[in-house]
Amino acid sequence: MADGDYESVLCVKPEVHVYRIPPRASNRGYRAAEWQLDQPAWSGRLRITALGKMAYIKLEDKNSGELFAQAPVEQFPGIAVESVVDSSRYFVICIEDENGRRAFIGVGFADRGDAFDFNVALQDHFKWVKQQTEFAKQAQNPDTTPKLDLGFKEGQTIKINIANMKKKEGVPVAAKPRPLSSGPSLLPPPPGTKASHQSTSQPAADPGLLFDFGSFSSSTEQASSTDAWGDFTTASGSAPSQPSSGWVQF
């Protein structure tokens, strides 16, 4: 054990069962249905510890904590821990004694959540081992390639030519139409009437005159000259000698 290494506990499960398993018949994997699940060879507590990069699955007595068997795990997934093909609660582990002798045994959890925690604890440990290995490689072989310096040097400037903005700035702004009078605006006359053909140079009539009936009756000559609709009295008094083809004479 290297200086500074200490053993940490990754997972503890209070109940686990151990089974004797038959030799693997083929490469199809282990099947828990082939074990005598109702007759476990041993029951006790399971602990997963970590010492450096190694993980250890320890089977211990529930009361005394005496070690029953231990499975060193160098990588996961691997030969030290294998899942069965027909259940998520059972595994096959490779135990090893002090003399280096090895044997494969089956372990099972009564609760599916305990089996999930067992699996995740091993995955997290070896994920951490992989990260530590990559960090060590980067420290031994630092990247010596020159970095691309994109910063500005002292006195260095940059010029940006934005053609679209200059083009938009040169476009003259359309002149707004001037109002005809300072008074309140009136709606334009309907299309096709004589009022629409009047010269725009003449000032607009004051809206107040439209409602001044006294001025209209007292100055007949002025009203006839400014009436945009024509002299109805003259038109009704002098009938044309020949009726127009577009009118019916009564």
Domain ranges for the chain: 7-139
**DSSP SS3 for 140:** helix
Name the CA radius of gyration of the chain, rounded. Answer: 52
Mean pLDDT, residues 188-201: 49
Mean pLDDT, residues 75-82: 91
For residue 239, with 0-12 CB atoms within 10 Å meaning exposed, 13-18 middle and 19 or more buried, which class applies?
Answer: exposed
Mean pLDDT, residues 134-153: 73
CA–CA separation, 160 and 140 (whole Å):
44
pLDDT for the residue 150:
72
pLDDT band at 133 (very low <50, low <70, confident <90, very high): confident
pLDDT band at 38 (very low <50, low <70, confident <90, very high): very high
Side by side, which strands form the sheet with 102-108? 67-73, 54-60, 42-51, 7-19, 102-108, 90-96, 81-83
Both tokens of 169, joined, read 């700035």
Position with higher pLDDT, 88 vs 206: 88
**DSSP SS3 for 53:** coil
Instruction: Write the CA distances from 94 to 10, 58, 97, 220, integer angstroms.
Output: 19, 11, 10, 125
Q: Is the pLDDT of residue 56 over 70?
A: yes
pLDDT band at 9 (very low <50, low <70, confident <90, very high): very high
State the average pLDDT for the chain.
75
Q: Is the pLDDT of residue 59 over 90?
A: yes
Residues 6+ apart with CB under 8 A from 164: none
pLDDT for the residue 161:
77
Residue with tokens 């510890």: 49
pLDDT for the residue 250:
43
CATH level 2 (architecture), domain 7-139: Roll (2.30)
CB of 49 within 8 A of CB of 7? yes
CA–CA separation, 189 and 193 (whole Å):
7
The 10s digit of each residue's pLDDT in 212-222 is 444 444 444 44
pLDDT for the residue 88:
94
Instruction: Write the CA distances from 247 to 32, 100, 135, 190, 233, integer angstroms.
Output: 111, 128, 105, 23, 19
In 3D, which of 62, 63, 59, 126 has the Cα closest to residue 97?
Answer: 59
pLDDT for the residue 237:
47
Residue with tokens 């009936």: 213
